[in-house]
Chain A
Amino acid sequence: MKNIDSVRHVRGESIFIDDIKIPQNTLFAYVFYSSIANGKILEIDFSEALKSKGVKGIFSAKDIPGENQIGGIISDENLFAENEVHFIGHPIAIIVAEKYLQAKEASKKIHIVYEKQKPILDPREAAKNDSFIIPPRVFQLGNTDETWQNCDYIFEGKVDSGGQEHIYLETQGAVVIPFEDDLLKVYSATQNPTAVQRTIARILALPMNKVEVNVQRLGGGFGGKEDQATAWACMTALAAYKLKTPVKLILNRQDDIRITGKRHPYSSDYKIGLNKEGKILAYEVTFYQNAGAAADLSPAILDRTLFHCTNSYFIPNVKATGLSCKTNLVPFTAFRGFGGPQGMFVIESAIHHAANEMNIPVTEIQKKNLLNENDEFSYGQKTKNCFTIKSYKLSEEKFDLKKLQEEVDEFNIKNFLVKKGLAVMPITFGISFTTTFLNQASALIHIYTDGSINVSTAAVEMGQGVNAKMKRIAAKILSVDESRINVDSTNTSRVVNTSPTAASKGTDLNGFAVIDACNILLERLKKVAAEELGEDDWRNITFKNEKVFDENEPTTLTFVDVIKKAYFNRISLTAQAFHSTPNIYFDTKTNKGNPFSYHVYGTAIIQVTLDCLRGTYETDFVKVVHDFGESFHRQIDIGQVEGAIVQGIGWMSSEELIWNEDGKLLTDALSTYKVPDIHAIPKEINIEPLPYDKEKLLNDEFKDQIGPLNSKAIGEPPFMYGIGFYFALLNAIKSFNPKLKLKYNSPLTPEKVLMMLYENNF
């Protein structure tokens, strides 16, 4: 069984927003946005644009009947700029015309005069100016101040990591169709249908029950459509509401890159203290998060950076400070890993730095400090069922790390112009929304009288295969064939008050809700069957492969027979269930708690080959031992690991966002922003599942620390294996240029590589 959309996908029959058959009278919209990064709007005049051919309306802040506000966590982001603009791409108005090109053409006729102010682009500069989204966040364990004196070695340094543009292949967009009595039907490519619904209601001063949001699927999300799909749906809804006509808005690629959020760039300072043996005694780190011009999800993302600032290591004394710095760039947003990768990159850099100074292998420091059972994180949670050491050791043994390293060393001695580099990247990634209340989901299941089943949940399908997983879970619990089951679109009228499909948590939350709903139905069906079979105790009834068993003996009843009987017996064939993750909490005052239901573990070994003449490189292999739990959908899970690794390597290598001093993004097209293509991938990706102790899994102590059917979340964790690429490549560079002063500044583009190779020789 595959991703259930896959047959439609390969035939080109899957419907994305731009493919929806729209009513004939649909109008097309174009977003007019600020061309300066910081300043005031002195004059704005739409009159010429309104006269432009085909134009039916232009709507800006003053046309909003409700609140001009789309901020989710903090109400600090207007839908349309009012008097000030805060970044290039800040939306000012939406133009609606009979044709898309007419709307775009009209946008050129808008008369606008700005008063320019100097933009702040650098998070450290923002911090100097006290320009913050929220007050500083500090996570602390032990006491670093008192520990430095016990350290044999102390190293300090700076780490920069670049942002990352999502490049979901389907750009952002929405179609809104008005119906009677102010009802709006919204087709949005969003990971967060409820946020779209709530925010449209807020903008239009409508109750939420007047807005129905439907999401069939996304052409990729990666976090980029968690918070940032909302604005486009709101604008489209505003126009449709005002004009009483269907309106469609699709961002073109260049606008999408320019005006939507990306992964946060970070600049960080670290101080790491170790003893002679390589045991890390103390670690201090300050993260300057470049949040952009509004909060978006930045505070939550910053928290996850802090949660993961020690990655897979136990460090007894930690002080981690997070500063969410407000700048004049597009508001940065969620992207696979949600701040975790930025945190992990710094600790791995600090360890790399220390190992090079101490002249010992990086792996030696890594291994001396790996998390053990019951070790405490800086946020107070203790590891349980911890596989950090197990996965590290297994990857060493399975892939013969020692031999790999020897081969690299030998190769580098023999070759002058080509060098190889190797690195090991362990990961420990916490699963749950760290904003505890978001850890809820519900499922609605209907069984029709012909035995066909419809499953609705809050989960949004974006290629990650969540629908296939929901289908499999329902089929397993009901013990029916998967072909009976349809997983319906995500719709705010069917499943309400949903959390976004994010945080790798879609399958866990919604899967448990499906299990509960199926069990409710199953109990009803068993009672019907028991009555039919004259069995006194319905608990003796079981369903297996569409057949009914009584005390494990086959009966003549089938699943469909029981459905029919239930209907005639006036038994409900619909069930709704609600799931909330148990035993998680986090106190944002003390920054202590138990925010994660469990962690996902794994270790990757990455090898690169470097052309020292040209500064170009390729990845030879990524070999991984990964903690899937019990994978109940192997093809999907493998695909998630492979895709995440390549995306992670992209973040560390060719994906570079460059802004000029005016805050204008120079890499605003696929011709300048380079995601990995088919030639850029690791030649080999070898994925070994971490073997599981089944008995332990079923143990009561751990039963809340695993996903549905004993699986583990898969979306984000493998992304961070890609971080190892940076260190593998850095090691190769160092092998050519031993005098190199090590720098930790991703992405490691061919430019940076060449400059490092010839740092002392040009």
Chain B
Amino acid sequence: MTEFILNQKKIVTDILPTTVLLDFIRREQKLTGTKEGCREGDCGACTVLIGELINNKIHYKTVNSCLVPIGSVHRKHIITIEGLTENGSLTPIQNALVDEGGTQCGFCTPGFVVSMTSYFINNKNYDVQKAINTIGGNVCRCTGYHGIIRSLNRTAELLNSADGKSHLEKLISANIIPEYFKKIPKQLKEIKSAKFKIEKPKYLIGGGTDLYVQKWEDIVNSKSLIIVDKKISNEIIKKENEIIIGASVTIEDFITNKTIKKYFPQIEEQLELFGSLPIRNKATIAGNIVNASPIGDLTNILLTLNSKVHLEGKKKRIIPLENFYLGYKLLNKKKNEIVTKITFEIPPKNFQFNFEKVSKRTYLDIASVNSSIGILVKDNIIQDVRISAGGVAPIPLYLKSTSEFLTNKELTSQNVKEATQIAFSEISPISDARGSAEYKKLLLRQLIYAHFILLFPDKINAEELL
């Protein structure tokens, strides 16, 4: 049985746990405000809010309901557009969208309202750029978005003058969310944790953000194990000299984690280029690794950090991430093994890091080429360096020869230039929808240049490189 609260309504259902949440909402519950636009998490028309109890406090985030198995929403609060308007009047966000021309054909609008609401739920102080990032997973084909941004600004002004002891009270008094939200945590606590035991599952579903894009028709009728409730760790722990990342840590948890931010302060902004917020809210670290996409953004970063993959099957194994990929979508992993965690060493002092990604569209797009660098320079000598490259080989690639070439070399433009020539010998890009092989080669050169120009502006002269 899956139990959860849908808006104000308690749901207890024995529907297959693999059922797509969007279909449950639209077909079973006949709540048609949530729209199907693409079924791949690329349009945001199906965005809903999910509230989850963490340490007895409820946290709300947005997800693409087209990629969510219903089994994963057990003991959670799902809010659709209908759940935001149950008291009859328009919320300030809805009013603003009406007044500012933020809606034309209306098909994307419910998704926008939900995403905008999530911004105001989760942010006490208004920052327009952050608000835009929050709704970055919602695509509108009519308005050109300016009316939607005006609506954000207008809502923020209104919320600013709202009364309330707590942020929640303020949200309710401003009518951004209905009053019943207050009662939800208590109701959720009354639902017991789920136990899904599946013998020999066909799929193991973590975030599902890629599985449900590629194979949803097969999954919905299959026996699958949906990872819920810490069955596999979703924590990031610092232990001695190591950072341990639970396999089901989401991308958003990773980039906003205090420990990660401490050592990689720029990563939160850089990985805003990873999918969209609803995708990052669901996609897991292990998923990104096991997916084995040659252009996985996180894999790319983890390669430069010399990460290790911890596998558990009949026995436990630890292998370096760079040895985990044997060929296109081919893993050094037995069928019964699962990834339980990823570890890497805490970077030394003066360690520098950069991540570069270029795609056809800057945000919410898959890279044409991405690249990361982890580098330690002392007295103008490169002590240690690891560079990775995505989109230029059948696997997420650690540029071994390039990195080795640069190690112990003087930090000069000439050496960086030569390094790119070595990189060319390590890659084998193909032409596809993300660019021609020739382009990807050039782009990798540029991104390697970008690493050095950005990290060492005093030492590396862009004009010499180009």
Q: Contact flags (1/0) for B31-74 with A, using CB distance below 8 Å? A: 01111111110110100000000000000000000000000000
Q: A672 touching B433 by the CB < 8 A rule?
A: yes
Interface residues of B in 103-151 (CB under 8 A from A): 103-110, 113, 132, 135-136, 138-149
Q: Contact flags (1/0) for A630-661 with B, using CB distance below 8 Å? A: 00000110110011111100000010101000
Most buried by A among B34, B103, B138, B146: B146
Most buried by B among A9, A10, A18, A635: A10
Contact of B360 among A170, A463, A674 (CB under 8 A): A674
Interface-facing stretch out of A374-382, A431-439, A478-486, A662-670: A662-670
Interface residues of A in 663-689 (CB under 8 A from B): 666-667, 669-672, 674-681, 685
Q: B139 touching A6 by the CB < 8 A rule?
A: no
**Chain A residues within 8 Å of B361, by CB:** 654, 674, 676-677, 680
Provide the bound-state CA to CA distance between A467 and B386, in Å.
Answer: 60
Q: Contact flags (1/0) for A607-651 with B, using CB distance below 8 Å? A: 000001111101000000000000000011011001111110000
Contacts A6-B97, A12-B81 hold; do A219 and B105 have CB atoms under 8 A apart? Answer: yes
**Chain A residues within 8 Å of B135, by CB:** 678
Contact of A222 among B98, B140, B141, B146 (CB under 8 A): B141
Q: Contact flags (1/0) for B67-90 with A, using CB distance below 8 Å? A: 000000000000011100100001
Q: A669 touching B42 by the CB < 8 A rule?
A: yes
**With an 8 A cutoff between CB atoms, is A8 at the interface?**
yes
Q: A677 touching B436 by the CB < 8 A rule?
A: no
Provide the bound-state CA to CA distance between A301 and B58, in Å.
Answer: 55
Q: What distance in Å separates the Cβ of B260 from its nearest Cβ neighbour in chain A?
A: 23
Q: B35 touching A754 by the CB < 8 A rule?
A: no
Q: What distance in Å separates the Cβ of B196 from its nearest Cβ neighbour in chain A?
A: 23
Q: B141 touching A19 by the CB < 8 A rule?
A: no
Contacts A614-B358, A675-B139, A677-B363 hold; do A639 and B104 have CB atoms under 8 A apart? Answer: yes
Q: How many A-B residue pairs have CB under 8 A?
A: 241
Q: A252 touching B33 by the CB < 8 A rule?
A: no
Contact of B136 among A253, A416, A679 (CB under 8 A): A679
Q: B85 touching A220 by the CB < 8 A rule?
A: no
Contact of A15 among B32, B94, B138 (CB under 8 A): B32
Contacts A220-B142, A643-B143 hold; do A679 and B104 have CB atoms under 8 A apart? Answer: no
Q: B143 touching A642 by the CB < 8 A rule?
A: yes
**With an 8 A cutoff between CB atoms, is B365 at the interface?**
yes
Closest residue on chain A to residue B361 by CB atoms? A674
Q: A614 touching B450 by the CB < 8 A rule?
A: yes
Q: B365 touching A674 by the CB < 8 A rule?
A: yes
Q: What distance in Å separates the Cβ of A482 from its nearest Cβ neighbour in chain B?
A: 15
Q: B366 touching A679 by the CB < 8 A rule?
A: no
Q: B365 touching A669 by the CB < 8 A rule?
A: no
**With an 8 A cutoff between CB atoms, is B364 at the interface?**
yes
Q: A762 touching B40 by the CB < 8 A rule?
A: no
Q: B98 touching A169 by the CB < 8 A rule?
A: no
Interface size on A, as a range, is: 35 or more
**Chain A residues within 8 Å of B42, by CB:** 669-671
Q: What distance in Å separates the Cβ of A638 from its nearest Cβ neighbour in chain B?
A: 6
Q: A615 touching B101 by the CB < 8 A rule?
A: no
Q: A169 touching B35 by the CB < 8 A rule?
A: yes
Q: What distance in Å separates the Cβ of B436 from its nearest Cβ neighbour in chain A?
A: 7
Q: B360 touching A647 by the CB < 8 A rule?
A: no
**With an 8 A cutoff between CB atoms, is B240 at the interface?**
no
**Chain A residues within 8 Å of B447, by CB:** 614
Interface-facing stretch out of B9-17, B225-233, B401-409, B438-446: B438-446
Closest residue on chain B to residue A638 by CB atoms? B101
Provide the bound-state CA to CA distance between A104 and B436, in Å.
Answer: 34
Q: What distance in Å separates the Cβ of B346 from its nearest Cβ neighbour in chain A?
A: 30
Provide the bound-state CA to CA distance between A21 and B26, in Å.
Answer: 11
**With an 8 A cutoff between CB atoms, is A112 at the interface?**
no
Most buried by B among A16, A104, A639: A639
Q: A642 touching B147 by the CB < 8 A rule?
A: yes
Q: A169 touching B103 by the CB < 8 A rule?
A: no
Q: What distance in Å separates the Cβ of B269 from its nearest Cβ neighbour in chain A?
A: 13
Q: A465 touching B104 by the CB < 8 A rule?
A: yes
Provide the bound-state CA to CA distance between A635 and B99, in Å.
Answer: 8
Q: Contact flags (1/0) for A165-185 with B, using CB distance below 8 Å? A: 011111100000000000000
Q: A675 touching B141 by the CB < 8 A rule?
A: yes
Contact of B105 among A168, A656, A672 (CB under 8 A): A168
Q: B110 touching A12 by the CB < 8 A rule?
A: yes
Q: B442 touching A169 by the CB < 8 A rule?
A: no
Contacts A169-B105, A679-B362 hold; do A671 and B40 have CB atoms under 8 A apart? Answer: yes
Q: A11 touching B33 by the CB < 8 A rule?
A: yes
**With an 8 A cutoff between CB atoms, is A761 at the interface?**
yes
Interface residues of B in 336-368 (CB under 8 A from A): 356, 358-366, 368
**With an 8 A cutoff between CB atoms, is A13 at the interface?**
yes
Contact of A751 among B32, B34, B360, B449 (CB under 8 A): B360
Q: A670 touching B40 by the CB < 8 A rule?
A: yes
Which 8 pairs from chain A and chain B are nearest by CB?
A12-B33, A463-B105, A9-B106, A219-B107, A12-B81, A646-B144, A463-B104, A670-B42
Q: Can you offer 25 A-B residue contacts whose CB atoms are under 8 A?
A: A6-B103, A7-B90, A10-B93, A11-B33, A11-B85, A12-B110, A12-B113, A18-B26, A169-B140, A217-B105, A416-B463, A614-B446, A615-B446, A642-B143, A646-B144, A670-B37, A670-B43, A677-B136, A678-B135, A678-B136, A679-B132, A679-B136, A680-B362, A685-B146, A750-B360
Beyond known contacts A19-B32, A639-B144: 15 more, CB 8 A cutoff: A6-B98, A9-B109, A11-B85, A18-B32, A170-B35, A218-B105, A614-B443, A614-B447, A639-B147, A642-B143, A669-B38, A670-B38, A670-B40, A679-B136, A755-B442
Interface residues of B (CB under 8 A from A): 26, 30, 32-40, 42-43, 45, 80-82, 85, 90, 93-94, 97-99, 101, 103-110, 113, 132, 135-136, 138-149, 213, 217, 220, 356, 358-366, 368, 432-436, 438-439, 442-443, 445-447, 449-450, 453, 462-463, 466
